[in-house]
Structure 1
Amino acid sequence: MTALTLDRFLAEVVPELKLALGERIDRENARPVPPRYARLLPETLLVVTLRPDVADLVAPVVAQLEAELTESVRRHGSLYDRAYRVQLRRAVQDDAPLFAIHAFAGQNLAPAPAAAVAGPPRLLDDPEATRLEAPPPAAPGWEPGRWLLVVEGVRAEPAEVFVLVDPLVTVGRRTDDPELRSTVALTGVPHVSRRQLALQWAPRDGAPGWRVVNLGQAPVRLPDRLLPGARWGRRPLDLAAVPPESQGWVAPDRPIVIGDAGPTLYLREAQPGEDPEATRYG
C-alpha cells in the first residue's frame, strides 16, 4: 500500500471528508423542523478526529484545512438555513479510523486548531470520540433527523432545540472541561450537571421511546418515576453499569424534568413535511 503523504491526503482524503461532512448535515436535516423550533437551533460543531499519524501529517496546514472544511460545511448548511463549523482534533488510539466525525450542539469551544491537532492528545478527543468511533448499533426504527430534543423553560416555552442524529446522546450544562462535555449542551441551567443525562433510542413493542439514564447529581422526574442521580462524574460512559434505580424509559412527548424546577425536556418528532430531496438542489 502506498504511504499516505500530505499531498495524497489533500487530493484524495479531503474530498472524501467533505462528502462525509455533507452527508452528516443531510442526515441531521432529513426532516423539516417546525418554524417555532427552527429559529432555536444552535450552531453545530462538527469535530473531526484524525488518526494520530494523520494528525501529525497535516499539522503544518491544519489552520488552513480547518478553515476550508468550515467554509464547506457553512455552504452546505446554508441549504437548510443552519450554521455549522469544523474543528480538527487528534484521536487518542493509534488504530482509530482515518477520520471520524462527531457533532456537538450548543457548545462554544474556543478554536485552537494547531495546538489541538499537532500537540499531545487532549481529553476532548477521547471520551466522546473513542466511544463514537465505534458506536453500538442502533435499535430498529432509528432514523437520523427524525427526532428533536426540545428544552422548555419555566414558562413552558421552547428555549432550545436540538436535532438528534445519533441514537445515543449525552445532555448537560455547557462546560469547557473536556472530560465532562456532553454532546448536547444546555445554557442558563446552573443546577444541571455538566453530564446530566444519557438518552438512548430504545423502542418497546414497536412503539418509539428512549432509555433515560441520570448520570448527574440532580434528580430527574419522568411521568412514572423519579430517577436519583448516579453521580457518574468523570468515569467513562458505561450505561450497563449505572444503577437501575437511575434509569428509566420515556415515550415521545412525555416530560423529562431535571431537578425541582426544570428545565423540562421533550423528545418530539419533526414534522414529516415534504421530501427534502425534492427541493434541496432544485
Structure 2
Amino acid sequence: MTDFTPATRPHDGGDEPLLDSFLREAIPEIKLSLGDAIDRDNSRAIPDKYVKMLPLTTLVVTLRPDAAQAVAVMAAELEEELTDSVMRHGSLYDRDYRVRLKEAGTRGAPLFRVSIQPAGQPEPEPIVAAPPPPPPPAPREEPTVAAPEPRRPPTPPAGETLFAGRGPELMDPDATRVEGIAAPSAPAAPAAPPVSDFPAGRFELLVEDEDGTERERFPISRHQSTVGRQTDNPDLRSDLQLTGSPNVSRRQLALVYVEREGRPGFVVYNLGLNAIHVGDREVSGANARQGALDIAGMGEHSTWVAPGEAIRIGGHGPVVRIRDGKAAEKEPEGGGGGGLEINVVPPVDPDATQFG
C-alpha cells in the first residue's frame, strides 16, 4: 500500500485543482510503485519454459474517490499511459502486464494503492464520472407590463416645418469647396502583421541527459513540430521521436516558431502529463487527446523559449534545448585567444610638474 498526498500550491487565489497536482506529482509515484510491484512479482526465479506460459497480469491502481472523480474524464487515456510504462518494465522479465484503475469505496483510503489482481477474478469496474448536481431552480418570472407606445409628433403638411418661424438651414457661404473631390473616407484598419517565414534547416533539437551529455539531435524542418517518445500508434506519433525516454509522453511538446522583438524563438506547448521546467518557470501538462492536434486554448500550458534555453521534462529529464545554427556560426572559434594586443601610452605633457 502506498499513501501519497500531493503538495498544495496556490492557484488563482485558491488551492491548486486536485487534477493538476495529481498529474504532476502522483503519476511519477504511481509509475515507481508499479515498477516495484513488478520487481516483487518476479523476485522468485521461474524457469524460462514456464515464463512464456504465464498469462497477462493485471495491476490494479485503486484511487481515493476524489482523485478517481478528478481523472474520470481521462481514465482510459491514463490506463493506456500506465500500461505502456509497465509493458516496458515487464519486458525485462519477458512478462506482460497491464494497468486498470479502480475507485476506492471509502473517502478515508490513501490517494492510491497498487496491487496485483489474482488470476480468475473479474475485471474491476471502470471509473465513471459522477452525474453533475441538479441546476438551481429558475427564478420566478414576474408578469411584464408592456410600456405605452410613445406619441409621435404629427407630420407637417408639405412645405411647412415642425418649428414655426425656422426656415431651412443654409449652406455656409464662407466654407471652402473644391470641385471634383469627394469627401474623405474613413481610415483603413491596420493590416495584420505578416507571419515570419520559418528558416528551414537553421534550428535543431538537442536531447541531453541530466549530466549534460548530448544523446541525440533532430533537425526542426517545419514551422510547427511535435516532440515525444517513440510509439507505433499513428494518432499519437510525434514528428521528432525520442529514444530511451520512458518518462516522456508520446506527444509531449509542440514547438511553434514565433519571433519576439526581432529575436528568434519558439512557443513551447506542454501536451503531455508531466510538467516541464524552463529556468524557474514550470508549465503544467495539458494531457492532449489523441488525433488531430489543436493548440487553441492551450495558452496556460505554454511558454516562449529562446534558442539555447534548457527544457527539462518531468522531474528526472531528459533535457532538450533548441540550437540556432545561425547564431553558432557567429561565435568566434577558439574562445577569442591569439589576437593582437595594442597598448596605447598617452603623451607626456612637457609643462607638467614632475615629482621624484
Query: What TM-score, normalized by structure 1, do the two folds share?
Result: 0.46
Which is richer in helix?
1
Query: What TM-score, normalized by structure 2, do the two folds share?
Result: 0.37
